[in-house]
Amino acid sequence: MRRVMAIIAAMALLLCSCGARSYVDISPHIESGIARDPGGGLTASNYAELKNAIIYLVEQSSEQGSISLVGYSGQVEEDLGRACSEVTDDEPIGAYGVEYMSYSSTKVLANYEVTISISYSRTPEELASVERVGGPVEYRDAVLDALMDSRETLTVETPYYSADRFDSQSTVQNIIHENPLLSFCSPVVSESLYPSEGLRRIVELKIDYGMDADELASRREDLERAARELTLEGDSGEETDDAETVRRLVRNLCERSDFLPEREDDLSGEVTRDETFTAHGALVEGKATSEGYALALSALCSLGAVDCRIVSGRWDGILHYWNLVRVGGDWYHVDAALCERYGEDAYLLKTDEEIGDALKWNTASYPAADGEPITFAAEEIPVFEPTDAENS
């Protein structure tokens, strides 16, 4: 019963890990820099305020708006052209959503009344859906939410973009590695940036799952069901230590799936991921690469209340994945794919020293597996007892 409760708790944690996020903010980000007259109209007395007012109009999806220039300290016509050009070309929201912008101005006594006309390349809904994130951690949370909801698009704005910290395909893969019950397909991500350079950017992601929403939902259910069934298979209900639990889960996985190393034979590490690279491939379809095995074991360990991580490294020079699991407070290597191919003796619950000749990995990126070696009691071999008929 305790193990069943652990599985239920783990499922809830894995599937409900995303709630309301603090980074979501669809209100205009420059509203505090906007000046208004007593009637609530937009006003500007300098170039910064003029530009902020134009950005505000874009964020409100206004096709036309008025700005009063009161006591303006600048060259009105020159500044209007410059501001409209900068908002359209250099501001993230303008580069993302504005097709064309024009302006006109009328002098009224010492002041000016400006009219801004805006043509958009995006709908008001698309402009309002832009999520603002502070950095890579919040960006990852936004991508996680999109994957949990099987959304096909995600648009975020960040003030600190860099290509290495916002690598979208790597972000998706890392999220799935940390949430293995999302590994029911291999989504491909394409990315567009607005503007094309600079720190402040809008990142637009298109997520291609390779199937429609109904099939996605069906595959997710199949994966969850298979993971629950395999986690319980062979469980006597009695308390066992984590080492025995891991051995049982590995055996269940190896009985369910066939290892396909030929799919990973690429020294560059640039492989086209398909069904065999997923936990769904291992647990439902019954065939998987080492990545599929590692994801599957990670899902099973999570449901079995065992700490587990996925390791990326090399086996015979080939890109290869396996797991680190925590047993008795120490970490140990488990390569379920190689257990399926060669038997569990060399690849089940091994220390760094025990497994280091076969597998290579960046030791600085993962916890050390330096505990005491684990050995299992010899399994009893059933003794053949002849029946009375056979004796006679």
Higher pLDDT, 148 or 387: 148
Is residue 383 over pLDDT 70?
A: no
Give the pairing of strands 153-158 and 131-132: parallel
Q: pLDDT over 70 for what percent of the chain?
A: 83
Nearest C-alpha neighbor of 309 from the set 231, 232, 365: 365
Half-sphere exposure of 352 toward its Cβ, with a 13 Å CA cutoff? 14
The CATH number for 51's domain is: 3.30.110
In the DSSP assignment, the letter for residue 306 is -
The first and second tokens of residue 318, run together, are 């080939």
Quick one: CA dihedral 114, 119, 125, 131, positive or negative? negative
Is residue 214 over pLDDT 80?
A: yes
Is residue 140 over pLDDT 70?
A: yes
Residue 340's domain spans which residues? 213-365
Of 93, 126, 159, the one marking the end of a domain is 126
Averaged confidence pLDDT in the chain:
87
d(CA 224, CA 184): 9
For residue 276, the model assigns a pLDDT of 94
For residue 110, the model assigns a pLDDT of 85
- Give the residue-averaged pLDDT of 79-98: 97
Distance of CA 357 to the CA centre of its chain: 32
Sequential DSSP letters for 215-232 = HHHHHHHHHHHHHHHHHH
Of 65, 94, 126, the one marking the end of a domain is 126
Nearest C-alpha neighbor of 373 from the set 340, 331, 344: 331
Does residue 346 sit within a domain?
Answer: yes
229 and 343 fall within a common domain: yes
Higher pLDDT, 221 or 38: 221
121 and 226 fall within a common domain: no
d(CA 342, CA 68): 78
- Give the residue-averaged pLDDT of 369-386: 73
d(CA 145, CA 15): 11
For residue 269, the model assigns a pLDDT of 54
Q: Are 97 and 120 in contact (CB under 8 A)?
A: yes
Does residue 73 sit within a domain?
Answer: yes
d(CA 44, CA 384): 95
- Give the residue-averaged pLDDT of 116-136: 96
If you search the block for the tokens 């390349």, which residue do you land on? 121
The first and second tokens of residue 132, run together, are 């603002």
For residue 390, the model assigns a pLDDT of 54
115 and 236 fall within a common domain: no
Does residue 206 sit within a domain?
Answer: no
- Give the residue-averaged pLDDT of 35-60: 88
In the DSSP assignment, the letter for residue 266 is -
If you search the block for the tokens 């008929």, which residue do you land on? 389
The CATH number for 261's domain is: 3.10.620
pTM of the model: 0.82
Does residue 208 sit within a domain?
Answer: no
d(CA 88, CA 124): 16
Does residue 9 sit within a domain?
Answer: no
For residue 45, the model assigns a pLDDT of 94
- Give the residue-averaged pLDDT of 228-253: 88
Is residue 381 over pLDDT 90?
A: no
Q: Are 150 and 185 in contact (CB under 8 A)?
A: no
Domain total for the chain?
A: 2
In the DSSP assignment, the letter for residue 110 is T
Does residue 179 sit within a domain?
Answer: no
d(CA 40, CA 32): 14
Higher pLDDT, 286 or 346: 286
pLDDT in tens, 279-328: 999 999 999 999 999 999 999 999 989 999 999 999 988 899 999 999 99
Higher pLDDT, 16 or 373: 373
For residue 359, the model assigns a pLDDT of 94
Q: Is 42 helix (H, G, I), strand (E, B) or coil?
A: strand
- Give the residue-averaged pLDDT of 123-132: 96
Does residue 107 sit within a domain?
Answer: yes
232 and 354 fall within a common domain: yes
d(CA 194, CA 11): 38
**Contacts for 251 with CB less than 8 Å, ≥ 6 apart:** 234, 344
Q: Are 29 and 261 in contact (CB under 8 A)?
A: no
Does residue 131 sit within a domain?
Answer: no
If you search the block for the tokens 């690279």, which residue do you land on? 277
227 and 116 fall within a common domain: no
pLDDT in tens, 4-22: 444 444 554 444 444 444 4
